[in-house]
Amino acid sequence: MKRFAIFIPAFNVETTIVSVLQRLPQDMVDSAAEIFVVDNHSTDETVTRVLRYKESQDLQKLNVIRNPRNCGYGGSQKVAYRHALNQGYDVVAMVHGDGQYAPEVLPVLVAPVLAGEADMLFGSRMTGDPLAGGMPRYRYVCNKGLTWIQNFILGTSLSEFHSGYRVYSGEALKKIAFEACADNYDFDADIIIMLVRARQRIAERTIPTHYGPESKSVSFFHCIVYGLNILRGLLKFLLVKWGVLADKERPDSHRR
Percent of the chain with pLDDT over 90: 84
- On whether residue 189 sits in a domain, the answer given is yes
Q: What is the CATH number of the domain that holds 172?
A: 3.90.550.10
- On whether residue 163 sits in a domain, the answer given is yes
User: Given this model, what pLDDT does residue 256 score?
Assistant: 35
Long-range (24+ apart) CB contacts under 8 A made by 131-137 are 132/209, 133/208, 133/209, 133/210, 133/211, 134/209, 134/210, 134/211, 134/212, 135/209, 135/211, 136/211, 136/217
Q: Bridge-partner residues for 142, per DSSP?
A: none
Q: How confident is the model at residue 48 (pLDDT cuts 50, 70, 90)?
A: very high
pLDDT digits 0-9 by tens, 61-70: 999 999 999 9
Cβ(165)–Cβ(94) below 8 Å:
yes
Q: How confident is the model at residue 253 (pLDDT cuts 50, 70, 90)?
A: very low
Residues 232/202/34/73 CA torsion (nearest 10 deg): 10
Q: How confident is the model at residue 167 (pLDDT cuts 50, 70, 90)?
A: very high
- 3-state SS assignment for residue 93: strand
User: Given this model, what pLDDT does residue 249 score?
Assistant: 62
Q: How many residues does the chain have?
A: 256
- On whether residue 251 sits in a domain, the answer given is no
pLDDT digits 0-9 by tens, 180-198: 999 999 999 999 999 999 9
pLDDT digits 0-9 by tens, 6-36: 999 999 999 999 999 999 999 999 999 999 9
Q: b/e string for 80-107 if b means 16 or more Cβ within 10 A?
A: bbbbbbeeebbbbbbbbbbbbbbbebbe
pLDDT digits 0-9 by tens, 120-164: 999 999 999 999 999 999 999 999 999 999 999 999 999 999 999
- On whether residue 97 sits in a domain, the answer given is yes
Q: What is the mean pLDDT of the chain?
A: 93
pLDDT digits 0-9 by tens, 76-116: 999 999 999 999 999 999 999 999 999 999 999 999 999 99
Give the distance from CA 181 to its chain's centroid.
12
- On whether residue 28 sits in a domain, the answer given is yes
- 3-state SS assignment for residue 62: strand
- On whether residue 249 sits in a domain, the answer given is no
Q: Bridge-partner residues for 91, per DSSP?
A: 4, 169
In this structure, the number of other CB atoms found within 10 A of the CB of residue 190 comes to 23
The range of the structural domain enclosing residue 99 comes to 4-241
Q: How far apart are CA 61 and CA 217, in angstroms?
A: 29
Q: How confident is the model at residue 216 (pLDDT cuts 50, 70, 90)?
A: low
Domain count of the fold of the chain? 1
Give the distance from CA 92 to its chain's centroid.
10
Q: Bridge-partner residues for 203, per DSSP?
A: 121
User: Given this model, what pLDDT does residue 220 score?
Assistant: 75
User: Given this model, what pLDDT does residue 243 score?
Assistant: 87
Q: How confident is the model at residue 245 (pLDDT cuts 50, 70, 90)?
A: confident
- On whether residue 252 sits in a domain, the answer given is no
- On whether residue 250 sits in a domain, the answer given is no
